[in-house]
Structure 1
């Protein structure tokens, strides 16, 4: 639908046609670490109208609910603390992390792993502490160049301290990479969570939310009030969208011109409409181990 900054060509018209002309209920299923309300609130700025959707199910909403129920339910107790990998303050390309924190209940971020009770992989811009009581600048710790090149040097320093204390990690955004509006890729919180549960970190406990986990799709079905046979999931990631839809028994529509575009292009096909090549598609599906029900070049009419 969009690249994080504006709608993709033809997507607005496609949504209007499906929602208004066809009268189909549309719901957003997203790996964003933002709450559902925030996600719907961003739609006008991206070129869409919230009224065309019956709602949104986000990994951030589900993760915040578990944090609230597990660590932040009792407002009378001392606040539980957590190491918070999140978005940098002032980053206009990412949703405001404070909207997520508001949903988490009686908890507080800390820059010191030795006093933390758990870890949250929410964004990939910085490690963020608690807001200053005097209203001053929020303390943050650098994650180095991770978001641009996946360099884990600074991230590992914090993760190893958390691993030594066997702190559980909650992943509020399981994406590994996203295609940015500037054309390049950005590295996401899912890579931090995957690193934490790797053998290098001695396989620490990670609780995942969002696609490709079938429970995320089940939440959409409940929201829609429809049987899975009446629903199709549209997405551009074989690892998250198609794998998750297959796991949930939901038909899928793979958008080939999205994140996998570079793997499907032939030499000299760097611009313009992606030409679907059955041989390349089948080779990609075999390599990744996930096959969609249908394939389209883009989400457009």
Structure 2
């Protein structure tokens, strides 16, 4: 969906800022992405922790909104282990939690038809998403009633590696649930695919995929209702155009792009956002974040 905000006949450009302090007064609720913004999958960014503390001290609510394919409590525990204090954010929302709730409640026709036999494409660290769901995890795709993808065990894996399984799933018309719409992530500086890359490949082959998490609207509806927040007073912070930026803007919120995340090689020059590169990516993704910042900082 192209950006349709027009000012004096022209589309606006992204405003490059030096810190969240410049725009914080305009927002009551901040939806904060984790990976690439607050931490790199291994350790937190000190300036990001300072920013979270400053937002809290300024009276802003900070809700973590992550496409982590794990239950919210698991992500909270991981953040604490990393040294990210629970007092730095008010709420936690994850795509994994939304996926778990969907499988638990079966709120629509598809959910009710999924059955209980799941073929899971996941790493061992994501297995907690199956707890309490009364599912039978099967090792053969031919025995499954649906596919659940959360991520990969092998950091060197590519989406194409899963083609044999995906083609068998397609032959059986198996629906797929994707618990992380992200395509890739940098873990400690090393790039690896996410569940969204496998789900996208299944769609390209002709398969049906149900996504939970950003940029899909349901998770924003849940947050806005719980917070009693007016979308115009919400700031979505993230490092991905296709999930964080698109999701926030489609939900009616403003968007702040952290350029030092997954798009860093495309956006940064000498640790600063290069405006020409930013305009090119805005055009490429047909999305114009209201704000841009090299790294999350107050």
Aligned-residue offset at 1:4: 1.2
Match of 1:285 among 279, 282, 285: 282
2:174 to 151, 159, 167: 167
**What is residue 15 of structure 1 aligned with on the other side?**
52
CA distance in 2 between counterparts of 1:151 and 1:119 reads: 15
Q: 1:69 deviation in Å?
A: 2.4
Aligned to 1:61: 97
Report SS of the residue matched to 2:215: coil
CA gap of 1:169–1:35, structure 2 versus 1, over 3 A, is: same
Name 1:5's counterpart in structure 2. 42
User: Which of residues 138, 147, 156 in structure 2 aligns to 1:110?
Assistant: 138
Contact 1:63–1:209 (CA<8 Å) still a contact in 2? Answer: yes
1:40 aligns with 2:76: yes
Q: CA deviation at 1:279?
A: 2.1
Q: Given the alignment, which residue of 210, 229, 239 partners 2:232?
A: 229
- What is aligned with 2:217? 214
Contact 1:29–1:220 (CA under 8 A) maintained in structure 2: no
Unaligned runs of 5+ in 2: 1-37, 108-114
How much does 1:51 deviate? 2.2
1:264 aligns with 2:270: no
Distance 1:186 1:9 in 2: 24
Provide the rounded CA distance (Å) in 1 between the counterparts of 2:248 and 2:159.
31
Tell which has more relative contact order, 1 or 2 (C-alpha 8 A, sep 6+).
2
Kept in 1, the 8 Å contact 2:159–2:193? The answer is no
TM-score scaled by structure 2?
A: 0.81
2:130 to 89, 101, 110: 101
Task: Number of aligned residue pairs: give it.
Answer: 254
Q: Which residue of 2 aligns with 1:140?
A: none
- 2:197 aligns with 191
Gaps of 5+ in 1: 72-78, 90-95, 126-144
How do 1:64-213 and structure 2 match up within 5 A? 64-70=100-106, 80-87=116-123, 89=124, 96-103=125-132, 105-125=133-153, 147-148=155-156, 150=158, 152-153=160-161, 155-181=162-188, 183-198=189-204, 201=205, 203-213=206-216
Shift of 1:32: 0.5
Verify the 8 A CA contact 2:182 2:195 in the aligned structure 1.
Answer: yes
- Helix, strand or coil: the match of 1:28? strand
Report the CA distance shift for 1:98/1:283 in structure 2 as closer, same or farther (over 3 A). closer
State the TM-score, normalizing by the size of structure 1: 0.80
User: Compared with structure 1, are the counterparts of its residues 149 and 106 closer, same or farther at alpha carbon in structure 2 (3 Å cutoff)?
Assistant: closer
In structure 2, distance between residues paired with 1:82 and 1:54:
34
Q: CA RMSD in A?
A: 1.7
